[in-house]
Structure 1
């Protein structure tokens, strides 16, 4: 009887596997930016067949200056990647988005200035022009400036702001260094672009937001309450949470592989991206810029819970600190509801228990 039941289970598993191969579940994922090594784990998971093994057919939707929140909230995409501040401010506005996995465990946000300006810290930013990004990407800069008692022109209620915010569309060459004194730059992208513009690292003063207590978490995976509560995701017979767990599981596997095999990961990324893979000026080679980027995002992924074997886990203490910071700065008016984060998806994906 034992052999019969074992055989039955095996046949059932094979049938299910075959069904996945024939009818994979269509899943759309909205990336926060154009294809690049920032999303290496996703592209590796796809190239290595990790999504396929989970019965998923994943399509990545690139974006420009549009917030992924909008795409996922309207149902154009099923899942997305964004930053914690974007997600929590969207919740505050009544948009039912839900955090399901935390990929980057450390902030890569910086403000960059020329050393020749002699700026030593945020207190010296008074009277300066600061380049910021639109669509919710300005929050880390706003948080850093507010922490040091600086007001910005982004606040319409302030008549004489101490810092002039200059919104620009993500390319530092448009504003730096002629139109701004400091410019927003991610360690893995714009910092290298600025170097490529002819400003070597030894000529730059890089202010890491995390060094000043502004460690607002970035690339995370999210969905909506509607998707996660679905009992039959797109007629697949799987619940929304099961699909989410499969997506997270394969993505974490992809990230783990990408971090350990960075050269191969870069080669996979290059297949997925076009001109946006290139840096600026002397860093115009797509390969060199993506190699830089892969090395830097690996540092953001390989931190905190990841080092404890809990990749994708949102550390409750870090989350609480992020919420407390955003509340103290007036960006959040109150604590998010418990439903803003769904640890059950991560638990299903990893087989581990969240410590809430």
Structure 2
């Protein structure tokens, strides 16, 4: 949820395709994780063998991920016979690790799944972590950016991604603004708060993390949520993903993982302060005040107006993929039906 790169992973994906056949054979044993063979004697019966499972994050731990940490801390995964290890992404990103079968589950975003699938990479989204897009363009209030037309004469800090450039062009066009009057620079790994004091006027952030941090810093922002400019930009970010091979060969593992994960996010929805404390305990280097404030803001947004946490709608996948195709971000339209599934969400 921290400001992050929203870009193309196609090179990594194509490399993954070349190695997927051999990589998938080691799906449960590749990399560093908890030792296999852990047991549990919960309930007083004979020790139960737990299945080692990894889930890879999309970024450093934050409140987008709280439900995963809750499910681990509260024993929901163990109840399903799983010993879950939450790991950081490698150089190729979470998508590459999941697509290759190196890990069975990961955190991604709808645009990356869309780009991957149109290139033949077998990622499948199995849950929307947050029901509506909470990202947008943020600027300190002294820059007086209230609408896209106010981007004129300003400097945007980004990462050179075709997606972000297309979104900026699109919303400026809606506001009849001249995109040639906007300067775009690469802010690299610079912290948002450092960058806006140094050489940029605004950047793309997730409000639930960077925006909340700005509130705590008493540095007010003007926030332009991208979803407010087009229904097609109200896409799912982040999502939980697996790959087609995992679904085909071990659907029961996917069901078990999602039963426990759903319980974790439901707990976070109902008990944001307790859930925040779970995340703080698991990742003590995080700012406690930021985690608590972010969790209180985000917990109601996990499910929002959906009938259950994680629910995904075909119209959301089609709307955003159509938008990407219209803006030449995809080589071909997305086969929406196979890009996501609600089949592994627990029935209410």
Mapping of residues 19-168 of structure 1, within 5 Å: 22-63=48-89, 67-133=93-159, 139=163, 141-148=164-171, 162-168=182-188
Q: Distance between the aligned counterparts of 1:102 and 1:245, measured in 2?
A: 15
- For the 8 Å contact 2:131–2:301, the answer to whether it is kept is yes
Question: How many aligned residue pairs are there?
Answer: 298
Structure 1 unaligned blocks of 5 or more: 1-16, 151-159, 231-238, 278-285
TM-score normalised by structure 1 residue count: 0.76
Q: Secondary structure of the residue that 2:331 maps to in structure 1?
A: coil
TM-score normalised by structure 2 residue count: 0.77
1:253 aligns with 2:281: no
| Shift in Å, 1:288 | 0.9
Task: Identify the residue that residue 241 of structure 2 maps to in structure 1.
Answer: 222
| Shift in Å, 1:68 | 1.2
Task: Identify the residue that residue 177 of structure 2 maps to in structure 1.
Answer: none
Q: Distance between the aligned counterparts of 1:195 and 1:351, measured in 2?
A: 38
- For the 8 Å contact 2:80–2:260, the answer to whether it is kept is yes
Task: Identify the residue that residue 266 of structure 1 maps to in structure 2.
Answer: 276
Which of the two has higher C-alpha Rg? 1
Q: Secondary structure of the residue that 2:224 maps to in structure 1?
A: strand
1:205 aligns with 2:222: yes
- For the 8 Å contact 1:98–1:339, the answer to whether it is kept is no
Mapping of residues 310-329 of structure 1, within 5 Å: 310-329=308-327
Deviations 1:252-291 (A, max 9, x none): 111011111111111110111143x1xxxxxxxx221001
Deviations 1:202-225 (A, max 9, x none): xx2111112122212101111112
Distance 1:29 1:324, change over 3 A: same
Distance 1:29 1:18, change over 3 A: farther
- For the 8 Å contact 2:110–2:236, the answer to whether it is kept is yes
Distance 1:105 1:21, change over 3 A: farther
Aligned residues: CA RMSD:
2.6
- For the 8 Å contact 1:242–1:348, the answer to whether it is kept is no
- For the 8 Å contact 1:92–1:332, the answer to whether it is kept is yes
Q: Which runs of 4+ in 1 moved over 6 A?
A: 17-20
Q: Secondary structure of the residue that 1:206 maps to in structure 2?
A: strand
Mapping of residues 156-195 of structure 1, within 5 Å: 162-169=182-189, 171-195=191-215
Mapping of residues 271-290 of structure 1, within 5 Å: 271-275=281-285, 277=286, 286-290=287-291
